[in-house]
Amino acid sequence: MNNPSRRWRSIAGAAAMSLLATVLAACGGGIKVTSANEVVVPKQLSRIVSLSPTATESLFAIGAGRQVIAVDSLSTYPPVAPVKNLSAFNLNIEAVAKYKPDLVVLSFDTTSAKNALDGFKKLNIPVLLQPAAKDLAEVYAQIEELGAVTGHKDGASKVIKKMRADIAAALKSANPGKGIKIFHEVDSTLYSATSDTFIGSVYKDFGLTNIADAAATADAKGYPQLTSEYVVKANPMVVFLADTSDGTSADTVAIRPGWDEVQAVRMRSVVALDSDIASRWGPRVVELYKAVAKAIPALM
């Protein structure tokens, strides 16, 4: 999946997701949700189809796994998730409808989402849209939202409480100060993520300097494509690879022309991230914070 905007593009503002109390309300025989889209969700859900790997992870984490009957082909975690031949990017509404869902959870760009929402509406299938989170507040709000509509509020609260504690511990363990430059590689064509994206906000939380920020342009929407010369000149102290599933590694990075002079390569500070963890904003984002925290002490 080489289009970085599919991974982290946010299509909802923070204000729309910040206070769950303002977006959930009792509505006859269901729950009305008006965060990213307006939908009435049945109070008793037993047939959920998740077409969002992040939502799939969150649903199982909060205890709603038994209500999930099908997930898209990219929802590979947890291993017990019922993976089917369904795609969120090339969505076949009729194929999803065959599972007779009482709720479909989606997460992708505005145009595709609108088309899908219209199609499912004609079939009277409720759809909950949870766009890519822009910050941790939106992450927590989405987990709370799933807890509320599935009847697992307590499970959601416990997950969020643990996430907050683990992330705080990771940040405290690092405390690197300023001046450490990093490069986050989305794919081998050198797309990166600025501090205005969710993934970029993780590095920002650690006080790190993101070399992609200086290359930000309006049309890149937070995901500028850098050049090899730019990265070499910026000379990051650590490189985080989010494209390891494509075969990228510290060894392949080291043999790129000119990269042997990059400080991160010379110091062996090229960090291979789990590609899924680096592209999802659910409960396992904690592991991303831990990976960043682990990489920093070696630079001190």
Q: Please state which of the ranges 42-56, 102-116, 136-150 shows the lowest mean pLDDT.
A: 102-116
Distance CA 295, CA 290 (A): 9
Superfamily covering domain 173-299: Nitrogenase molybdenum iron protein domain (3.40.50.1980)
Is the model more confident about 131 or about 28? 131
The residue with greater pLDDT, 114 or 40, is: 40
CA distance 103 to 245: 31
Mean of pLDDT values over 276-289 = 95
What CATH number does the domain located at 5-152 have? 3.40.50.1980
CATH topology identical between 5-152 and 173-299: yes
How far, in Å, CA of 142 to CA of 133, rounded?
A: 8
Whether a cis peptide bond, with omega within 30° of 0, leads into 78 is yes
d(CA 276, CA 129): 20
Query: Are 191 and 163 contacting, i.e. CB atoms less than 8 angstroms apart?
Result: no
**Separation of alpha carbons 170 and 28, rounded Å:** 44
Give 142's contacts (C-beta < 8 A, 6+ positions apart): 17, 54, 55, 58, 130, 133, 281
Quote the pLDDT of residue 71: 97
**What six digits make up the tokens of 261?**
């002079």
What single DSSP character describes residue 20?
A: G
CA-CA distance, 132 to 12, in Å (whole number)?
8
SS (H, E, C) 235-264: CCCEEEECCHHHCCCHHHHHCCCCHHHCHH
Domain ranges across the chain: 5-152, 173-299
Share of the chain above pLDDT 90, in %: 71
Is 289 buried (19+), middle (13-18) or exposed (0-12) by CB count in 10 A? buried
Indicate whether 20 pLDDT > 50.
no
Separation between Cα atoms, residue 148 and residue 154, nearest integer Å: 9
Report the distance separating Cα 188 and Cα 2, nearest Å: 9
Quote the strand ranges of 5-95, DSSP E: 24-27, 30-34, 38-42, 48-50, 68-71
- Residue-level pLDDT at 9: 38
At residue 42 the predicted structure's pLDDT band, cuts being 50, 70 and 90, is confident
Q: How far apart are CA 157 and CA 141, in angstroms?
A: 10
How many Cβ atoms are within 10 Å of 296's Cβ, its own excluded?
23
Note whether 298 and 269 are within 8 A (CB): yes
d(CA 180, CA 299): 8
Q: Record the pTM.
A: 0.86
Q: Give 228-276 pLDDT, tens digit per residue.
A: 999 999 999 999 999 998 899 999 999 999 999 999 999 999 999 999 9
Please report which confidence band the pLDDT of residue 153 belongs to, taking 50, 70 and 90 as the band edges: very high
Beta-carbon contacts of residue 193 (< 8 Å; ≥ 6 apart): 4, 8, 184, 186, 199, 200, 210, 212, 222, 223
